[in-house]
Amino acid sequence: MDTTTTLTFGERLQDSFEQLYRYVPALFGALVILFAGYLLARLLEKGTDRLMRRIHLNQILERGGVMQAVERSGSRVNPTRVAGSLVFWFVMFAVMLVAANALGLQSLANVFSELVSYIPSVIAAIVILIVGIVLGAFVGGLIMASAGGLHGGPTLARVGKGGVVLLATFMALQELGVATEIVTTAFAILFGAVALALSLAFGLGNRELAGEVTRNWYRRYREERDNIERDNRELDRVEGITT
């Protein structure tokens, strides 16, 4: 009985070594994939960093008001490094997916596959937010240029800028798939509340501002129309003289 037990233990030990021997090539291949993928990810990270510096991404975002908005939230972020890090981790997750498949770890491969498929949505959401902040600053500046001298003009500019940024935030959340129905409903309610508040403000609390804005726009319209009519009369007079 002791001999049978010894033989059984020996067979099991031999079987374990055989399984380990069969597993070593896959493990070695996965390590090679990880090492090569890491080098590729670092190379692409540095390339992205150089590209972002060449197009002056930080300066573009600073002029668009993005950096100021981030600093007001208490954070200090280097967009160039963020872009490089996103590229690095995107490549690394893809490499980990390939390595997990090489090892036959299907459950782990599924996890990395989900992460890799989600990263483009994260990048798109970040781009939407950045574009929203830049566009919001542009809209705010446009309102300030047209109504900045009026009473309440700066408030209108801030409301316009905030509205664009808020819209971009909701769009980014939808891109991420974060409670899409709740986000859509909340945006509709918030948008309606803001529209109602602005209507009441113009209709009741800021009647003078509304009248001033309307008179200012109408005066500009009259000036443009008078200039066009004067130019037309001058053109008719010149044509009459030449004929």
CA distance 235 to 243: 12
Over the stretch 172-218, which tens digit does the pLDDT of each residue have? 877 777 656 666 666 666 666 666 555 655 555 555 666 666 777 77
Host H or E run for residue 69: helix 66-72
Residue 119 within any structural domain of the chain:
no
For helices 79-103 and 2-54, what crossing angle results, to 10°? 150
Instruction: Give the residue numbers spanning the domain of 14.
Output: 9-104
Whether residue 88 is contained in a domain is answered as: yes
Cα–Cα separations (whole angstroms), residue 131 to 4, 27, 82, 160, 167:
74, 44, 16, 15, 11
Instruction: List pLDDT tens digits, range 107-116.
Output: 666 776 777 7
- pLDDT at position 4 is 46
What is the spatial distance between Cα 57 and Cα 67, in angstroms, rounded to a whole number? 11
Asked whether residue 243 is assigned to any structural domain, the reply reads no
* pLDDT tens for each residue of 47-85: 988 988 888 877 777 776 667 766 665 567 777 888 888
Using CA atoms, how far apart are residues 28 and 103, in angstroms rounded to an integer? 9
**Residue 231 has which token pair?**
């130019």
For residue 38, being part of any structural domain is answered with yes
Q: State the total domains in the chain.
A: 1
What's the rounded mean pLDDT across residues 121-147?
76
Q: Is 119 exposed, middle or buried (0-12, 13-18, 19+ CB in 10 A)?
A: middle
- Give backbone dihedrals phi and psi of 150, rounded to 5 degrees, phi first: -85, 160
Q: Is residue 53 part of a domain?
A: yes
The CA–CA distances, whole Å, from 54 to 40, 49, 50, 51, 220 equal 21, 9, 6, 5, 43
Instruction: Tell me, yes or no, whether 34 lies in a domain.
Output: yes
* pLDDT given for residue 180 in this prediction: 62
**170, part of any domain:** no
Residue with tokens 């160039």: 80
Which of 76, 167, 96, 87 shows the shortest CA–CA distance to 129? 167
* Centroid of chain to Cα 52: 16
Specify the pLDDT at position 2. Answer: 47
